[in-house]
Chains A and B, each alone.
Chain A
Amino acid sequence: MRQAELTAQKDYWAKSACKMCIHSCAIRVHVVDGVVLKIEGDPENENNKGKLCPKGQAGIMRLYDPNRVKTPLKRTNPKKGIGVDPKWEAISWEEAYEITAKKLKKIRDEDPRKLLVSINDFHRIHLWGWGSAFGSANYFSTVGQYCGAAYHPVNGSLDGSFAATNDYEYCNYWIQIGGGDGFSSHLHVAGSIKRMAEARVNRGMKVVVVEPRMSTGAAKADEWIPILPGTDRAFVLGMVNVLLHELNVYDAGFLKKHTNGPYLIGPDGKFVRDRETGKALVWDAGSDSAKDYDDESIREFSLEGNYTVNGVKCQPGFQVIKDTLKDHTPERMSKICTVPAETIRRIAREYGEAARIGSTIVIEGKEYPYRPAAVNYYRGAIGHVDGGLDSSAMKLINLIVGNIDVPGGHIGVGLDHRLLLVEPGSDGMIKPQPHILHPPYAFADKPYSFQLMEWFPIGIDPGHLSADNILNPEKYGFDFKAEALIIEHSNPMWNLSATDEVTEVFKKLDFIVAIDVVLNESSEWADIVFPDHTYLESHLLVDIEPPVITGHVYRRPVIEPLYDSRDATDILTELAARIGFLEQWNGLLNFTAFLKPEYYLEPNKKYTNLEITDRMAKSIYGPDHGLDWFQENGHAVRHQTPEEMYLPYRGLRIPVYFNFFKETGEDLQAKMTAAGRKWDTSSYLPVPVWRDSHPLHNIPPEYDLYAFAFKETLLNFSESNSVPWINEAMEHIPMHMGVMINTKTAKAKGIKTGDMLRITSPFGEITGRASVVEEIHPGCIAMSNGISRWSNHPIPKKSNTHFNRLLPADVKWTDGMTGHLETSTKVKIAKI
């Protein structure tokens, strides 16, 4: 139904798309006399099938929040600070645009790099590049710290995917490490909980959860294995050791056919190449000779053995992996991660048996390998220094049983099926795709982004490095300074670590402009605020981000906007025009909105969000699938086909020996050395190993407890605890209300539930009330992000238990390969 007809009705259900987290469940919204009375999952949608999580249901209380930004605002109190009333004055759109454009134009004319950019709306990734069109490469926020700077690039480098999860339909033995898939978070929580419940209860799938805290997943699992933070890789590599060196369990067929496991590796760690063709060589056991990897006469790829080719001693990549991990025995790994060696052995054995190596399954008439055992993981496992190695270890434990992208196994997914980027790379392998969200930054001797993205060729924007570089420009030789900040749907003061440093940056800035629905810790410092529509008042085509399902959901206004708000896309376009870079902005949108040449935006014409969405829809779905089609038909969502999900490799190989990481690290080291800079590239390894040098585990012993933060469904991927229904539900759940500490640890320290604690890390200090519980590793404390807020918004309780204050945020505490911040720390605690 057309928009005007829809909202002219008295009593109707409108289909739309949720935005109470970064995913996009299909919803239907009941409106009577113009008032939204109910939000439900859209029962006709294949993805969430009528289901909706608590955040999605609570969208009504975001829409009707009287604290929403209702008109453009100007700050009249020049004093800025935490708890300070900005004394907002309502101003016209014209005045807001004029003040902002004038300030930002001046900066752009002087040096655009002086603008900090915090545009972080996951549903509108097309807006992220606004800063680069302006001329600033700065990114003053973080997503990588929360989803996975060390997660996505490793997925993309493996099989062109953005994310991955185990196969809900066919998996029988699901090990979950530091992730919430199917229980509390990650890809489409409502649909995933449904799929997981069906697998667990209807099919009897066994679930093992490895986490320092008994999360929802651990509570529901058949077995919870407590572990110290930042040691998951040790657990997994211990399992690899058992499979390869004790049980001799691996999927030779898969490794030979689909991976670079047979490629011969020389003493330099690189492929041994044919002198004439330059192609990577393998050893053919059939003819007892080295051959080009694509030689059709190869009868038997060797995975193991020691060979000499052209006078060079070499081994297949798989043999290198096996040898490298020979000393990663369960006993040695157990000392690191605290999981008993016998448990590591038992889980490895169960996993290896459940993988049913050699079995096949026929799906829709096609035969696939059937490997119904897989290890799934997410931020908790990889949010660390050496996180790239954590992530590749998690891939390795899957790779060796041959379960990557096969039924029952560990399945890579794109943001939608189009964005699973399977393209030919070198040596018969898939092209590594570490940068799904935006192209890589070009290397430069002298840094041009405060987050140093130019020195993280594989990583995702380590925005947490910005504050340190802004405050200490001499460290890496910045010759420009930060003067202004633009914020769109982001909260850098809350989401970046080393909170005190970030606050210092805010104090230094001359001008801050924010675009949002409600104000938060960061936008309260703004000079000008532009009101955005809420998701219930705006149009957008949103990626479904599978698993299982793909396509786009169509978000439409279910009611007319309540206030004098405008769409953030339109606001940023107007600012681009007034500042004078509309041409660059439109050029970027052509790329980020996936426009086909026939729908390209003209360089110097302003296009509305509606026009851009219409062109995007036609570009992706064809000329008869513009906005009109979506208004009549709703969503374009469907099941992925088996060919899209399973072995989508097009005859290309994936890495089990991560040569790309090694090559990238060496290339970066050469460039840095040439630039006269010292830069640690030691974590760019082709085989993940445990490294005792890890700074987290070398913090002085007086800091005797590990500390970490957590979320659950009510709070995940969103800023939902300013929504009263969420806040109310949260207050009934003890784990969200205090600092979790194990009973035995608390007793030894004389701590009881309710005691106020001072929690000190080497980097910062917070306070919080103790919550003495059994369900946490005795070597840790943990706190929910439900007690982390201090904004002026009246709903969340004010607290000084913001975990990020305990974290450092500099290069030492950043994973060299991926740019992931170390997200755990160690603390000492004392009763106050």
Chain B
Amino acid sequence: MHLGMVIDLKRCVGCQACTVACKSENGTPPEVLFTKVLEQVAGEYPIIKKKFIPVLCNHCEDAPCVRVCPTGATHKREDGIVLVDHQKCIGCRACYVACPYKNRIFLQKGSLKKGYFGKQLTPFEQVKYPKWQEGVVVKCTFCVERVDQGLDPACVQTCPADARVFGDLSNPESKVSRLIRQRGGYQPLSEDNTEPSVYYLE
């Protein structure tokens, strides 16, 4: 089993439903976005190409963050999901520097006290924030709790355009494998040889 995601850039309309679904599923504090949609514009008026590009942790097979982590906090499960054990993380940020995709976030001191509406956290934040820890590095987990229940990650579940597909990259008959094959799926920054588990379709 090798879990991964295929993102169809032809389908994505940059609506940010994934960005907000991730906020709500994971209850991340302000300014912490595990996924978002970037916009890229190329060309000159009137011949312009504008792309919406969702980004998240790529859960690389040969993950630099796993290699550089001095404590083993960042680790890869057998199914390919890369996680950070907050108890083991010492906040050295080696992984933050090593990630070629800049998809890791350091939870600054005080960031869990600063709620979306100020110091008085909402009931939602009061439930969600205790699972985080200040002074550690956090990132997308492919919604591991959902995945362990057999569900898709929240961003996949909500995507109105079905631009995100989640599945087993090691099974050649899975939808993700078929899409990569049929549509020429490619990995971001493949020249870095990190073997991302996230593929893009043009």
Contact = CB atoms under 8 A, between A and B. Distances in A.
Interface of A: 32-33, 35-41, 48, 50-54, 57-58, 60-61, 64-67, 183-184, 189-191, 193-194, 196-198, 200-201, 214, 216, 218-220, 224, 226, 712-714, 724-726, 728-729, 732-735, 742-744, 773-778, 794-795
A64 B123 contact: yes
Contacts of A713: 13, 15-17
Given A32-B127, A38-B25, A190-B160, A61 B122 contact: yes
Interface stretch (B43-51, B78-86, B90-98, B168-176): B43-51
13 contacts: A48-B160, A51-B158, A54-B16, A57-B23, A61-B122, A64-B123, A190-B17, A194-B161, A197-B161, A725-B24, A733-B16, A733-B39, A743-B44
In this complex, the member of A64, A194, A735 whose beta carbon has the largest number of chain B beta carbons within 10 angstroms is A64
B50 A53 contact: no
The 4 closest A-B pairs by CB, nearest first: A64-B122, A193-B160, A219-B50, A197-B161
A376 to B, nearest CB: 16
A438 to B, nearest CB: 32
Contacts of A733: 14, 16, 39
Contacts of B113: none
B66 interface: no
A66 B120 CA distance: 9
A65 B121 CA distance: 10
A729 B50 contact: no
Contacts of A191: 160
A51 B38 CA distance: 21
Contact of B160 (A35, A40, A194, A725): A194
In this complex, the member of A48, A184, A732 whose beta carbon has the largest number of chain B beta carbons within 10 angstroms is A732
B14 A216 contact: yes
A775 B41 contact: yes
A38 B163 CA distance: 21
A742 B41 CA distance: 13
B16 A201 contact: no
B16 A183 contact: no
A224 B160 contact: no
Contacts of A194: 160-162
Contacts of A189: 15, 160
B24 A58 contact: yes
B147 interface: no
B158 to A, nearest CB: 5
B8 A51 contact: no
A570 to B, nearest CB: 25
Interface in B7-21: 8, 10-11, 13-17, 19-21
Nearest to A724: B116
B159 interface: yes
Q: Is the interface of A mostly helix, strand, loop or mixed?
A: mixed
Contact of A197 (B13, B33, B51, B52): B13
B139 interface: no
Nearest to A36: B124
A402 B123 CA distance: 56
B52 A219 contact: yes
Given A66-B122, A733-B14, A774-B43, 18 more contacts: A32-B127, A37-B127, A37-B128, A57-B20, A64-B124, A64-B125, A189-B160, A190-B17, A191-B160, A200-B10, A201-B8, A214-B48, A219-B50, A724-B117, A726-B20, A729-B16, A794-B118, A795-B117
Nearest to B152: A50
A39 B25 CA distance: 9
B157 interface: yes
Q: Is the interface of B mostly helix, strand, loop or mixed?
A: mixed
A65 B117 contact: yes
A214 B50 contact: yes
B72 interface: no
B192 interface: no
A190 B157 CA distance: 12
In this complex, the member of B8, B123, B127 whose beta carbon has the largest number of chain A beta carbons within 10 angstroms is B123
B148 interface: no
A218 B49 CA distance: 10
A276 to B, nearest CB: 59
B116 A226 contact: no
Given A38-B24, A66-B120, A197 B162 contact: yes
A384 B128 CA distance: 48
B25 to A, nearest CB: 6
B37 to A, nearest CB: 8
B107 to A, nearest CB: 16
A57 B17 contact: yes
A216 B117 contact: no
Contacts of A52: 17, 21, 158, 160
Given A194-B160, A724-B30, A61 B13 contact: no
Contacts of A38: 24-25, 154
A201 B201 CA distance: 11
A41 B13 contact: no
A778 B48 CA distance: 13
B45 A744 contact: yes
Contacts of A33: 127
B104 interface: no
A795 B44 CA distance: 35
Given A64-B124, A774-B43, A774-B44, A57 B50 contact: no
Contacts of A50: 157-158
Contact of A728 (B14, B30, B51): B30
Nearest to B15: A713
A48 B17 CA distance: 13
Contacts of B43: 774
B117 A226 contact: no
A91 B36 CA distance: 43
B52 to A, nearest CB: 7
Given A36-B124, A64-B122, A774-B48, A725 B23 contact: yes
A197 B11 contact: yes
B71 to A, nearest CB: 31
A65 to B, nearest CB: 7
Contacts of A196: 161
Interface in B99-126: 116-118, 120, 122-126
Nearest to A193: B160
A208 B17 CA distance: 24
Contacts of B127: 32-33, 35, 37
B104 to A, nearest CB: 17
A658 B23 CA distance: 51
A216 B158 contact: no
B15 A54 contact: yes
Contact of B20 (A58, A183, A219, A777): A58
B191 interface: no
A193 B23 CA distance: 21
Contacts of B41: 773-775
A714 B16 contact: yes
B45 A774 contact: yes
A194 B164 CA distance: 12
In this complex, the member of B38, B48, B161, B162 whose beta carbon has the largest number of chain A beta carbons within 10 angstroms is B161
B36 A732 contact: yes
B15 A53 contact: yes
Contacts of B51: 219
B142 to A, nearest CB: 17
Contacts of B45: 226, 742-744, 774-778
Contacts of A712: 14-15
B15 A41 contact: no
Given A39-B24, A775-B41, A775-B50, A60 B15 contact: no
B12 to A, nearest CB: 9
A729 B13 contact: no
A226 B46 CA distance: 7
A794 B16 contact: no
Interface string B44-77: 1110101110000000000000000000000000
A81 to B, nearest CB: 25
A190 B10 CA distance: 17
Nearest to A194: B160
